[in-house]
Amino acid sequence: MSDNDNWKAGYDLMVRMMGPEFAKTMEASVNSGRFAADVGRMAVEHAFGAVWARPGLELKQRSVVVISTLIALRQSDELRNHLRFGINNGLSAEEIQEIIIQTVPYVGFPAVSSALAVAVEVLRERGMDGGVKTASERGLL
Amino acid sequence: MSDNDNWKAGYDLMVRMMGPEFAKTMEASVNSGRFAADVGRMAVEHAFGAVWARPGLELKQRSVVVISTLIALRQSDELRNHLRFGINNGLSAEEIQEIIIQTVPYVGFPAVSSALAVAVEVLRERGMDGGVKTASERGLL
Amino acid sequence: MSDNDNWKAGYDLMVRMMGPEFAKTMEASVNSGRFAADVGRMAVEHAFGAVWARPGLELKQRSVVVISTLIALRQSDELRNHLRFGINNGLSAEEIQEIIIQTVPYVGFPAVSSALAVAVEVLRERGMDGGVKTASERGLL
Amino acid sequence: MSDNDNWKAGYDLMVRMMGPEFAKTMEASVNSGRFAADVGRMAVEHAFGAVWARPGLELKQRSVVVISTLIALRQSDELRNHLRFGINNGLSAEEIQEIIIQTVPYVGFPAVSSALAVAVEVLRERGMDGGVKTASERGLL
Amino acid sequence: MSDNDNWKAGYDLMVRMMGPEFAKTMEASVNSGRFAADVGRMAVEHAFGAVWARPGLELKQRSVVVISTLIALRQSDELRNHLRFGINNGLSAEEIQEIIIQTVPYVGFPAVSSALAVAVEVLRERGMDGGVKTASERGLL
Amino acid sequence: MSDNDNWKAGYDLMVRMMGPEFAKTMEASVNSGRFAADVGRMAVEHAFGAVWARPGLELKQRSVVVISTLIALRQSDELRNHLRFGINNGLSAEEIQEIIIQTVPYVGFPAVSSALAVAVEVLRERGMDGGVKTASERGLL
């Protein structure tokens, strides 16, 4: 695949996962000639085009992978973006809750606490913060 | 839920995900009175019973979360165990490949390289190392 | 021990280490039915009830463990909370200073610098920032 | 070498790398008797005097080492300082760009994204943000 | 304090914490002229002499700090050394167990699992692996 | 640049930095159809072709960046490879020593200790372990 193909695959994926506005802004930034704009180009071609657009795992599952990775890396800013993309890829509030809770035994409470703060913010932004009941409310605990 | 219930839920989950041998060995270790055996008890009750056994996300998805987390944390030994559990939870060789490749842009090649070494080992152990074709073989690159 | 017992042990510990206000707010949050409120329950039962409340090491020593861990993990927000709890558990300003300095050779100056910023903030909040003299003032260097 | 010598070597280096104002402020802080002022003394003597002032690698190269290390450690605040010192040690905007881009395959995009935000800030502060063209503008991609 | 004084303080501390054999071997290595022998000198002077030998926190407490830090950093080799030094500084098997268990909620099970493997090894080496009963054996769980 | 061009640039760079044997083995592995062989392709195209082969910083400097990054990430296996490549790119034993020592104040002694073990191994392998004198031998300390 040429980098042109990677760019096209990455651009199409950005339109689908993040919306056309995001993709256009990214393109403008990549072509801006600004400091390190090539990092943006590499992200489109090498992350979105050559990795995210691969067959073999659906986008929603790829979001689960990336969100889990970013919780473990304690990268709150990138996590915020990828929670938004994950919702666009079909993740529900309950699934996001369970992903975060599933990381507790592996990354510890402090990393989870940072992740929760970001998740609540994104869910409110999307009007999705009312749709989740805790396990105790469902009579499970 | 009482810790007895957590223990039972965790024990049942271990039987299902790791087989009855593993669960019995874990139980014996927890009851051995050896140094820090309580950590084993906490793992059964608080990780397997109270987290893994929750509703809202199926076991296969929970494996995706934990495997991704362990790649990011560069914890090869635990990754080996959780790749085995993930296969028991239904992950195919191709899905494992795609999970690992999906982490490249976020954790970098060195962490991925460590993860691959462990994955190849587990897939061979399970006789699953023949079932994957690369994207290039499928005419995708 | 049942999770009810863990909850009780955790709740009592929160009252002792963080004050009754904190414990009540935590309880309200856990019972709020809000997104991921179960993480709060897990923190009370599995961190405070099942770990902090164990015999074999006094609370002040447990604070030393957790503060050191959080410096190494570079988790400033959780460090702020645990410096407060550590003071409630009996740590003096000088002991906090020495804990932080003791981590320098192991975590490096950048992580220590982040920890110091948080520690100075907490000591001021408690009116404890006047009580420490440097080693040089004491004629030791 | 005595710690007095380390102090002198470190102080001279601070004057050279950070300017006399910075060195004086640091000295005042070290002698302030404030909480953990000894950490400042250790930084001057053990980091600047005993490490940075060593022969065998020029200051500009030492800046490359430290900037790369801080990108990998995701320590944005210290990175900001060391980008400033690196510019004082002779690093150009293009060299800083290439250092950051060179870390992408090893630390991943999220850590690089945090580093870029800080670098753009420092380059603007120094009026150096106009001097870099992307590889694509130079007809290289 | 001169670096000669730091050396002396560090050397005395090594004799006390690690025994005279260890201190002599370290000294020989520092004076060997081998690659990076200066790192050993820096460890003696800047870690043992200037940090460990400070007043304000006893050696046993400093061991608690360093052991906790090394668990969080997942540095098994250094942890092995510092568990030995910690025992020499007065830590019992039960205290070591409780330090490790206290880190579970903050670093997660995988890091704790690595730490336990090293701790069991050191306790066996010292003939201290029989002296600990689990909480459950003491009727606490 | 097409991915074909990235492949060619990456392949040429591997020949130059690692020798023709290494490049051929890598090519065979990428075309093997084995599990995750695409990760090798991505390394050649996206790491060596699209990053290492960029203008603006010479290969020796890029080695300094990557070696520093791998010390901070505590990735001993990748560090071993990149020390070899760095020597091929012109780094002397003394420069490698100074890179490692320069990281001490930022990453701490444990990470440096792991890096030193690997560096000594590589220098011996290359017959370069005799060429370095410590600062103290040169009358500098």
Q: What is the pLDDT of residues A89-136, one digit of tens each?
A: 999 999 999 999 999 999 999 999 999 999 999 999 999 987 565 555
Q: Cα-atom radius of gyration of chain C, to the nearest Å?
A: 17
**Chain E, nearest residue to B82 by Cα:** E110
- Residue E4: which pLDDT band, with cuts at 50, 70 and 90? confident
Express each pLDDT in D44-97 by its tens digit: 999 999 999 999 999 999 999 999 999 999 999 999 999 999 999 999 999 999
Torsional sign, CA E50, E55, E59, E60? negative
Inter-chain CB proximity C1 and B1 less than 8 Å: no
* Torsion sign, CA atoms C26, C32, C33, C34: negative
**F31 CB contacts (<8 Å, ≥6 apart)?**
B136, F37
* Percentage of chain B modeled with pLDDT above 90: 84
First to last CA, chain C: 52
Residue of C nearest to E71 (CA): C69
D13 exposed, middle or buried (CB, 10 Å; 0-12, 13-18, 19+)? buried
The string of pLDDT tens digits covering residues B116-134 is 999 999 999 999 987 565 5
Task: Assess whether pLDDT exceeds 70 at residue B136.
Answer: no
| Among C70, C62, C59, C51, residue whose Cα is nearest residue C10 | C51
pLDDT value at D138 more than 90 = no
Query: Which pLDDT belongs to residue D12?
Result: 96
Give CA–CA dist E86/C25, Å, rounded. 39
The DSSP secondary-structure symbol of C82 reads H
- Give the sign of the dihedral formed by CA D77, CA D80, CA D83, CA D89: negative
Residues from chain F that touch E70, judged by Cβ atoms under 8 A, are 110
Residues in F touching C106 (Cβ below 8 Å): 108-110
Contact E7, E42 (CB under 8 A): no
- What are the average pLDDT values for consecutive 10-residue runs of chain C, which has 141 residues? 84 96 94 92 97 97 98 97 97 98 98 96 92 53 41
Chain D residues touching B105 at Cβ < 8 A:
108-109
**For chain F, which residues score pLDDT lower than 50?**
140-141
Subunit partners of chain A (3 or more CB pairs within 8 A): B, C, D, E, F
| Closest chain E residue to C103, measured at CA | E66
Contact call for A104 and C39, based on CB within 8 A = yes
Burial of D139 (0-12, 13-18, 19+ CB in 10 A): exposed
How does the average pLDDT of chain B come out, rounded? 92
Distance from CA of D67 to the nearest CA of F (A): 8
* Nearest one of D35, D42, E127, A38 to B35, comparing CA atoms: E127
Instruction: Please provide the average confidence, as pLDDT, over all residues in chain F.
Output: 92
User: What are the chain D neighbours of C97 within 8 Å (beta carbons)?
Assistant: 35-36
Check B109 against D109: CB less than 8 A apart: no
Asked if residue E140 has pLDDT above 50, the reply is no
Per residue in B22-38, is it b (16+ CB within 10 Å) or e — as a string? bbeebbeebeeebbbbb
Between chains, do C39 and A109 touch, taking CB under 8 Å as contact? yes
Residue A138 CB neighbour total at 10 angstroms: 11
pLDDT at B20: 96
Per residue in C84-115, pLDDT tens? 999 999 999 999 999 999 999 999 999 999 99
**Residue found by looking up tokens 């920032």 in the block:** C129
ipTM value for the complex: 0.92
pTM for the complete prediction?
0.94
Cα–Cα distance for residue pair E66/E69, rounded to 1 Å:
5
- In this complex, which of C35, C47, C78 lies closest to A97 when CB atoms are compared? C35
Mean pLDDT (whole number) for E11-36: 94
**What is the predicted pLDDT for the residue at D125?**
95
